């Protein structure tokens, strides 16, 4: 049980680990855990859009995809030009002694290989999470996000991811709550 408790504390540390790419964007911020929540929720949505996908596996891939960052940090694209994190060693040590360690390692390997439908959808969920943040920042008037959006869209792997990206980019990010006020003001006319 001690190893399981240690893993839980390790996962918990992702709440305090900032995603590092925002320094180049010039605005926005989120922790790895915040990103993981959005990514996993997108996976839930995708599992309903793609019923042939194993929903549990898809959501689990998203839940664990950035877990190694508790040990290696969140390396952004610039840092990856100069640094090579030994993610394999980090994962091996992270899962050592866990009764479900091999299963956890297999999930992270599957995500990284991106060969299965679930792993491809998980990659899309990962990118769509960032796309949602970029769209929100763009809607708030920040200048840089529109230049980043095409790069993020390019990384989407499935037609389902592309379709969801299109909807995200055409829908105002505040429409979900503003609609209540729009509807209410039209009713009082």
> What are the boundaries of each domain within the chain?
2-187
Q: Which residues contact 91 (CB under 8 A, 6 or more apart)?
A: 68, 105, 108
Measured at the CA of 124, the angle between CA 50 and CA 89, to 5 degrees, comes to 120
What is the per-residue pLDDT for 185?
A: 67
pLDDT tens for 4-35 read 999 999 999 999 999 998 888 888 899 999 99
Mean pLDDT, the chain, whole residue set: 95
**Confidence class of residue 189 from pLDDT cuts 50, 70 and 90?**
low
What is the per-residue pLDDT for 28?
A: 85
Q: Is the pLDDT of residue 87 over 70?
A: yes
CA distance 71 to 92: 11
What is the average pLDDT across 105-122? Answer: 98
- CA 103 to chain CA centroid, nearest Å: 21
What is the per-residue pLDDT for 132?
A: 98
Tell me the C-alpha to C-alpha distance, in Å, between residue 67 and each of 4, 17, 112, 142, 166: 14, 11, 12, 30, 29
pLDDT tens for 123-160 read 999 999 999 999 999 999 999 999 999 999 999 999 99
CATH architecture for residues 2-187: Orthogonal Bundle (1.10)
Q: What do you get for the CA distance between the two ends of the chain, in Å?
A: 63
CB 101 within 8 Å of CB 95:
yes
**Confidence class of residue 181 from pLDDT cuts 50, 70 and 90?**
confident
From the list 22, 16, 11, the residue with the least C-alpha distance to 130 is: 22
What is the per-residue pLDDT for 138?
A: 96
What is the per-residue pLDDT for 23?
A: 86
DSSP 97: T
DSSP 14: G
How many Cβ atoms sit within 10 Å of the Cβ of residue 43? 27
What is the per-residue pLDDT for 182?
A: 75
């Amino acid at each position: 049980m001690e190893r399981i408790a240690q893993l839980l504390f390790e996962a918990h540390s992702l709440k305090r680990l900032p995603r590092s790419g925002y320094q180049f964007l010039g605005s926005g911020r989120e922790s790895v855990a915040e990103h993981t929540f959005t990514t996993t929720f997108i996976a839930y949505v995708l599992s309903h859009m793609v019923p042939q996908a194993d929903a549990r596996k898809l959501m689990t891939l998203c839940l664990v995809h950035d877990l190694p960052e508790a040990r290696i940090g969140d390396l952004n694209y610039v840092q990856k030009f100069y640094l090579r994190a030994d993610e394999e060693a980090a994962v091996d040590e992270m899962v050592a002694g866990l009764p479900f360690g091999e299963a956890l390692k297999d999930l992270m390997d599957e995500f990284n290989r991106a060969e299965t439908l679930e792993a491809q959808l998980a990659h899309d969920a990962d990118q769509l999470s960032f796309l949602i943040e970029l769209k929100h920042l763009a809607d708030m008037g920040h200048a840089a996000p529109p230049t980043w959006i095409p790069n993020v869209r390019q990384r989407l792997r499935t037609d389902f991811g592309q379709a969801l990206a299109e909807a995200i980019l055409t829908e105002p990010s505040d429409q979900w709550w503003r609609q209540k006020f729009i509807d209410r003001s039209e009713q009082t006319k």
